[in-house]
Amino acid sequence: MAGRASREKPRKWIDAEIETLDPDVDSARIWQLGNAYRTNPMILNMAVCQGFLRLVGPGSGARTLVRGGKGKVVLHQQRRIEGTMREVWTWYLGEGAHDPRVRESVERVNRQHDAWAGKYPEAILDVRQYTYTICVLAAEPHRVMRRLGLPGFSATEQRAAHRHWSQIAGLFRIGSDPGVPVPADFDGMLAFLAEFERKDYSTAPESNVAAEALLQQFSDRWFPRPLHGFGRALVLSIATPELIAVHGLTAPRPLVARTLRRTLRTLITVQSRWAPDPVEPAPILAAFGEPHPESPMSGRLKAALSGMRGPRPAPGGSTSTSV
């Protein structure tokens, strides 16, 4: 019955439905319509990769993720991202902070953070990094669209995004303290993101390792090995110069980056203006429910790990620097 009803929707129904909703009451549904329908597994994986690159902009965040080279993101990249995708998708599709599925999902994340807080307190107990995480979840899709030359969220979507993620922020714990402080409105979130990226980003030995592991995961999952460079360029084409710099990465050539951004802008424009709106959310759980084979470490990731650990002492106690 639900399937028959969904097929009866107009070709362009999502924006029309969003504008009939109250962002203060229907924030979860507005977020779901704007972000869970107009995506696909590859695009959401790219967004999660981009978001993780943001979250490990502070060196302490990179250290927490890499864990001396033994972190899951280094050794089991696909499993790490599959777990993240499942949790994020629960927050995308759930009915807000009162939804038992959302509450259970956030509590799983809280327990994971509790387990590591003693070893990595500088990141896991940092209030500003939690606030930054919530602001990235709420506002980074809008910022990416703006970087592509697109309008981004409507006023209704901005208000709903702020409310949806502010309520979910109340479910997180920072140590024993409940809730994550969030700016007063969506513009405040954008301002906080800009300030945090200006003041709190810092390069650590683990920064390049985290970035290379995330880029390898995305490229391995969606492209054959000869096209891994394309997958890498696709992610970095929507990154900002300061994000690329803090992770010790090389930006795509300007012509390549412009071409990829133009292509993404065209695809999004075609989907939003002319293509029929999807009548079901994207099949994210189906795409990430089964484990994807892990690939051997790329040469770039091996080099990043070697750089993180520093030059090895040569026989006799001196440090070898030969290349």
Q: What is the pLDDT of residues 65-94, one digit of tens each?
A: 999 999 999 999 999 999 999 999 999 999
Mean pLDDT over all residues of the chain?
94
The percentage of residues in the chain with a pLDDT greater than 70, rounded to a whole number, is 94
Angle at CA of residue 87, ends 6 and 157, nearest 5°? 55
Could you give the CA distance from residue 51 to residue 147 in angstroms, rounded to a whole number? 15
Q: Average pLDDT for residues 274-291, to the nearest whole number?
A: 96
According to DSSP, the β-strands at 177-178 and 173-174 are antiparallel
Q: Average pLDDT for residues 19-34, to the nearest whole number?
A: 98
Q: Average pLDDT for residues 246-258, to the nearest whole number?
A: 98
Q: Average pLDDT for residues 241-253, to the nearest whole number?
A: 98
CB 280 within 8 A of CB 37: yes
Q: Which pLDDT value is given to residue 318?
A: 36
Q: Quick one: which of 195, 80, 49, 44 has its CA closest to 132? A: 195
Q: Please list the helix, strand and coil fractions of the chain in percent, rounded to the nearest 5, in that order.
A: 65, 0, 35
Q: In degrees rounded to 5, what are phi and psi of residue 67?
A: 55, 50
Q: Average pLDDT for residues 37-50, to the nearest whole number?
A: 97
Q: Which pLDDT value is given to residue 321?
A: 25
What's this model's pTM, rounded to 2 decimal places? 0.93
